[in-house]
Structure 1
């Protein structure tokens, strides 16, 4: 039998730890998750966690990075349409809808900002602002939205979406808040759009 490549073994080990941590953080929350229980669930030792992630915070960062990538892939899929405006609005709506997912609520919206601190928040915000700025710039260039400063608009829109997602996630029953937010999203964004020319 051929020996497995070291990179494959590392990928398997880190994958097990991230999966076990995601499950535990999603069910119990970061603060209530025991590293011993987490590593036992993965069939590994604390030493493996320390070796690959440094500490429990490093593991949380890896979980959040993986979840952010999944969310980005979903947002990109929704906005991949020839109708730039529909794709943009669909992306904003879907971001708000993710606040209904209990795992995203607990890990991404609550625990990540609390336990990873300002460095995580700044990195996350920067990625969102860069993506939104590019989309707004493209829509301005194509005459879909009014001319303005794309970067400033990206900050304004992202701030509104993040705040609304947190507001949705903190509710005992988030569904009515989501419906209210989506119902008012078009009103918020409508001033950007150039009216269709007949």
Structure 2
């Protein structure tokens, strides 16, 4: 019996993830065949079940991978911003813009919602905690009006998530994105201590 090393196992998992991600982006969850997918990866269904449990588990793993990539992109926007408020605003806007990217739109915003019920509890907690930390810092700096940071984070995160779904669901995604951007500016300006100052522009 051939013993598989940890590196072999990780390589198998990575191959399945990469192949599944490509197939899900091209065909969607319902039309992605597990037999065709494992054949493309040069592996067996047994390998898929070992690493991911089933088709839904494979989708959840692909979504988790994409969530991590999206989070890294958003964090880079915050890190590169000229000031904290601009970083927060640009990060929120970038999240909505991602809803127009075909891969994210189909896998994260359509299939994950339909099959998995949306983002995982861990992903939601991570997003809320990150947003709460940013809002807390903005309150401490006198940029955002004093309020409960967790409550504000929940409201902003919920608004962004629903707007992203709305953008992804429509054939008129570009128009919806433009409308959502206007709404986002109105929403975020309401958080400011002095909403008519140049910081909001």
Q: Which ranges in structure 1 are unaligned for 5 or more consecutive residues?
A: none
Superposed CA offset, 1:118-177 (max 9, x none): 7x4433322211111111011111111111011011111111111111111111120111
Cα offsets for 1:27-84 (capped at 9, x unmatched): 1111111100011111111111011111111111110010000000000000113500
Answer yes or no: is 1:60 the counterpart of 2:59.
Answer: yes
- Distance in 2 between residues matched to 1:67 and 1:171, nearest whole Å: 22
CA contact under 8 A between 1:24 and 1:33: conserved in structure 2? yes
Is the partner of 1:24 in helix, strand or coil? helix
Does residue 192 in structure 1 map to residue 173 in structure 2? no
- In structure 2, runs of 5+ residues without a counterpart are none
| Residue of structure 2 in register with 1:35 after alignment | 34
Q: Look up the match of 2:114.
A: 114
- Kept in 2, the 8 Å contact 1:113–1:121? The answer is no
User: How do residues 139-178 of structure 1 correspond to structure 2 at under 5 angstroms?
Assistant: 139-178=138-177
After the TM superposition, which of the residue ranges 104-113 and 121-130 deviates more from structure 2?
Answer: 121-130
Tell me the TM-score normalised to structure 2 length.
0.90
Structure 2 distance, partners of 1:16, 1:95, is 28
- TM-score, length-scaled by structure 1: 0.92
Deviations 1:72-131 (A, max 9, x none): 00000001135000000000000000000111111101111221237x443332221111
| Distance in 2 separating the partners of 1:77 and 1:178 | 22
